[in-house]
Amino acid sequence: MNFNINKLTDKLRNMRDLSDAELAALIDAQDCDYLHKTADAVRRERYGIDVYTRGLIEFTNYCKNNCYYCGLRKDNTSLERYRLTKEQILECVHTGYTLGFRTWVLQGGEDMYYSDEYICEIVSALKAAHPDCAVTLSIGEKSYESYEAYRRAGADRYLLRHETADDTHYRSLHPDSMQSENRRRCLQDLKRLGYQVGSGFMVGSPHQTLENLVADLRFLQELDPDMIGIGPFLPHADTPFGGEEKGSLSRCLNLIAILRLMFPYALIPATTALGTIHPLGREMGLKAGANVVMPNLSPKGVRELYTLYDNKICTGEEAAECRSCLDKRVKGVGYRLVADIGNVKR
Ligand code: SAM
Ligand code: SF4
Ligand code: FES
């Protein structure tokens, strides 16, 4: 069926929903200036020109899992592995605080070296050092009890992308040891425990269809997360998907805009993957409705070891360099980086 993309854009803005066929047409559309501009207008209504920053601390590149797409997968034996201590993490946080950050994302592979007790110790230490800040964890699938313990220790937010809402597609991205039902259970548990939850997916992961992407949007409607992180799939040479095509920048931008129109309140980052696929990818993401950036606060010495995909940006820069680089980039496209905890505006 032939759809008028501008009319679909207006309808999505007004209704916050479309039929599956209409959503597919919008995801797949070319030259979507009006879609992106409309998403930007909706973002400005809710958030003005503010762009929130989250300081990203990639504290371990060990992982017990073997996702076919990710360079940190257990079977990638060519990767040098590292772990940060609580003291090193606190040092990153102190540097970040002086640079104006008020929220941190502790991200890593699923690394059993960090027991629940140790994670709780780290979270409590961060909250004690900076009670005015929010702590976000992104450390994968855990039990209800573990999530509960982190929450008690002071964790405020959790990022766990659902990756794909389609079971068959999920099976083609992960070995049998990983189950999409468990990931969905985790997201429900996190919501029950009162975390501000972030989910999302890669755009253009191998075998992904337009129908899969529509299912991802439907899944997000059900989950109703506060944060939605998407970015293009990018291949990593030392993974089973090393020879696969990367995701499409324009499809990713369309999806950011669609997400803004469906979830006007959402915190949507312009991701590092977007900045890797195109030198101005993050700026384009902001102009299409994104309102968060996540500069890297990890120590310079370990950054190039957190290689989810090839050619990742910001591996040679200090935290202060990334902060001021992003400041300029954000200003350059007409927005303002804010030192704020950056809560969702429902
Ligand atoms: N281990 C945790 C997890 O999987 O939720 C957190 C870290 S994991 C590296 C964070 C995200 O990186 C994943 O949710 C995935 O979407 C993304 N990612 C992994 N490999 C990627 C690739 N090759 N291209 C783009 N994004 C990738
Ligand atoms: Fe591990 Fe997360 Fe990478 Fe999967 S995506 S291999 S769980 S770090
Ligand atoms: Fe890291 Fe530009 S944001 S160098």
Nearest CA to ligand 1 atom 4: 140
pLDDT digits (tens, 9 = 90+) for 243-278: 999 999 999 999 999 999 999 999 999 999 999 999
pTM over 0.95: yes
Residue 229: per-residue pLDDT:
98
Note the pLDDT tens digit of each residue in 106-162. 999 999 999 999 999 999 999 999 999 999 999 999 999 999 999 999 999 999 999
pLDDT tens figures, 173-188: 999 999 999 999 999 9
Pairing mode, strands 103-108 and 196-203: unpaired
* pLDDT at residue 217 is higher than 90: yes
Q: Average the pLDDT over 180-207 and give the result.
A: 98
C-alpha 11 to ligand 1 mean position (Å): 33
User: To the nearest whole number, what is the mean pLDDT of the chain?
Assistant: 97
Nearest protein CA to atom 3 of ligand 3, as residue: 322
Q: Which of 1-5, 46-50, 132-136, 144-148 comes out lowest in average pLDDT?
A: 1-5
60 pLDDT above the threshold of 80: yes
pLDDT at 332 over 80: yes
Residue nearest to atom 14 of ligand 1 (CA): 161
Ligand 3 centroid – CA 28 distance (Å): 30
Strands 336-338 and 50-53: parallel
User: CB within 8 A of 172, min separation 6: which ones?
Assistant: 68, 206, 207
Q: Which ligand is nearest to the CA of 72?
A: 2
How big is the CA angle at 142 (ends 140 and 192), to the nearest 5 degrees? 100
- Region 323-339 average pLDDT: 95
- If you measure from the C-alpha of residue 308 to the centroid of ligand 2, how many angstroms do you get, rounded to a whole number? 8
69 C-beta closer than 6 A to ligand 1: yes
Distance 90 CA to ligand 2 centre (A): 24
The residue whose CB lies within 8 Å of the most ligand 1 atoms, and thus the one to mutate among 163, 202, 227, 228, is: 202
Mean pLDDT calculated for residue range 279-297: 97
pLDDT higher than 90, residue 339: no
The number of the ligand 3 atom at minimal distance from the alpha carbon of 314 is 1
Per DSSP, the three-state class of 308 is coil
Give the pLDDT score at 232.
98
Per-residue exposure over 320-344, b if at least 16 CB sit within 10 Å of its own CB, e if not: eebbeebbebbeebebebbeeebeb
Q: Is the pLDDT of residue 1 over 80?
A: no
106 CA distance to ligand 1 centroid (A)?
13
3-state percent helix, strand, coil for the chain, nearest multiple of 5: 45, 15, 40
Nearest atom (ligand 2) to Cα of 108: 8
Nearest atom in ligand 1 to 241's CA: 23
For residue 316, report the distance from its CA to the centre of ligand 3, in Å. Answer: 9
Ligand nearest to the backbone CA of 65: 2
pLDDT at 83: 98
Pocket test for ligand 2, best of 63, 81, 142 (most atoms within 8 A of CB): 63
Q: What is the pLDDT of residues 307-318, one digit of tens each?
A: 999 999 999 989
- Asked whether the beta carbons of 212 and 219 are under 8 A apart, the reply is no
For the chain, give the percent of residues with pLDDT over 90.
95
pLDDT tens readout for residues 230-241: 999 999 999 999
Q: Is the CB of 322 under 6 A from ligand 1?
A: no
pLDDT reported for residue 341: 87
Calculate what percentage of the chain has a pLDDT beyond 70.
100
